[in-house]
Amino acid sequence: GENVEQHPSTLSVQEGDSAVIKCTYSDSASNYFPWYKQELGKRPQLIIDIRSNVGEKKDQRIAVTLNKTAKHFSLHITETQPEDSAVYFCAASIGAAGNKLTFGGGTRVLVKP
């Protein structure tokens, strides 16, 4: 089955700096790659996703890049703010909506003011 590795496990950045989280996946058939943000004590929520026919996607201060050849994808957060502090999870899925997601282990991001 699919295996998703996520690095780093913790990331501390100064407010205003950029944060980058990287994930690798094992199954070349995976074609959907979402990122979820989980604030302390709250449920995970989707922040951005990318499909395998796209190499990069941006939404304001966040962007995701995908390299299908290397089987890795990354989350980039620019101009970090204290409210970006949370745990971020990457995931991979094969096939259409409703298919099982395999999550990475998570990255705890701390933005220092």
Task: Write the single-letter amino acid at 82.
Answer: P
Residue 98 found at the interface with other proteins (CB under 8 A): yes
| 87 vs 69: CA distance, rounded Å | 27
CB of 16 to other proteins, least distance (A): 27
Dihedrals φ, ψ of 85, to 5°? -65, 120
Phi and psi, residue 71, nearest 5°: 55, 50
The nearer residue to other proteins, 20 or 101, going by C-beta atoms, is 101
Of 54, 59, 105, 112, the one binding other proteins (CB under 8 A) is 105
Q: From the list 24, 74, 80, 93, which residue makes contact with other proteins (rule: CB under 8 A)?
A: 93
Under the binding rule (CB under 8 A), the answer on residue 103 touching other proteins is: yes
Measured between alpha carbons, how far is 98 from 62 in angstroms, rounded to an integer?
A: 25
Q: Is 41 left (phi over 0), alpha (psi -120 to 50) or beta?
A: left
9-68 residues in contact with other proteins (CB under 8 A) are 32, 34, 43-46, 49
Minimal distance, residue 104 CB to other proteins, in Å: 7
Cβ distance 19 to 1 under 8 Å?
Answer: no
**Residue 101 binds to other proteins (criterion: CB under 8 A):** yes
Binding site for other proteins (CB under 8 A): 1, 32, 34, 43-46, 49, 89, 93, 96-106
